[in-house]
Amino acid sequence: MNINKLVSQYVTYCRALGERCKTKEFILRAFCRAVGPQTRITRIRLKDARVFLAGKGTLTNGWHGRYFALKGFFQFAICRGDLAKNPLPTTIPNRVPTMTPYIYSRDEIRRLLDAIPAAQHGNNLMEPHTLRAILLVLYGAGLRRGESLRLTLADVDLPNSILTIRNTKFFKSRLVPISRDLTEALSDYAHWRATAHPSSDTHGPFFVNRRGEAVFRTTIETGFNRLRRYAGVRRSDGARCQPRMHDLRHSFAVHRLIKWYRQGADVQRLIYHLSVYLGHAHLADTQLYLTLTPELLQQAGQRFERYARREVDHA
């Protein structure tokens, strides 16, 4: 059997088990193109797998993503009797250290928003109004990039200040209450959109490009990277990657935690609410977003100091 046909059967099998399988299929289709879609599965050799896994440039964690996608596929082929032996290498390189998220300061977020009109050119697919609204919803509601781009007109309930996030990362849907300021900002965008790109389809995308179509991931990424450079927002800690759009979600979580500490709130209890709000399956997933910053350390330290003093006073 040729590899392209077997990949189709494997993807169908995975989806029947409840997997979304988008990333896995993307990797496997790329492998098909690399070795030739009509190549028989029995003709795949170790050198073919090594070349594909290596990719281009230096080693990244993408190696492991490609490896495990291929591993599941080849195990499927072996169980079916289409393949006798797994052609993958037996030695797996260590993962690249996890990148430290960048926590934007509020001043940096203002600089990004203020720079939008000057950073966007007329021939870009991303219009300034749309870029601004997307960045505000990423930071103001802590959404994932894909969640924001998949919002439809029906999902944005501005009279009740509620966003409906459907079938997200963990196959869950959730309701996300938003602040008054974010509601006003999205209302302004909705009014502009209705004038610039009118649509009667409530299932149409809330955020649209210059053509009135859904915004693609590459379009928003290109627009954001241009904006970040124009605004002069960059890392100075020696990390290998510059601040990303996804780091707005990290910043939302950290800034919320700092605010709770300042208010004297019960952070240990509220962190569970934050986990649900962010759409995480486990509390440990939320803890990854709570990257320590000097300000967060200061607030936590002050809280512990007050707690310690009470213990001493009652001793």
**Active-site hit among 15, 64, 169, 197:** 169
Q: One of 29, 64, 246, 303 is an active-site residue; which one?
A: 246
| Residue 289 known to be catalytic | yes
186 and 207 in contact (C-beta within 8 Å)?
Answer: no
Catalytic hit among 15, 144, 197, 226: 144
Q: Which two tokens stand for residue 85?
A: 């032996």
Q: What length is written for the chain? A: 315
Choose the catalytic residue: 67, 139, 277, 289: 289
Residue whose structure tokens are 């803890």: 287
Active site residue 169: yes
Rounded CA-CA distance 270/179 in Å is 17
- Angle at 19 (CA atoms; ends 17, 23), nearest 5 degrees: 145
Distance of CA 192 to the CA centre of its chain: 27
CA distance linking residue 87 with residue 292, whole number of Å? 43
Catalytic pick among 228, 249, 255, 256: 249
Rounded Cα distance between 25 and 40, Å, is: 18
Rounded distance, CA 14 to CA 165, Å?
24
Q: List the catalytic residue out of 145, 150, 250, 280.
A: 280
Distance CA 109, CA 185 (A): 15
Active site residue 246: yes
Question: Which amino acids are annotated catalytic?
Answer: 144, 169, 246, 249, 280, 289
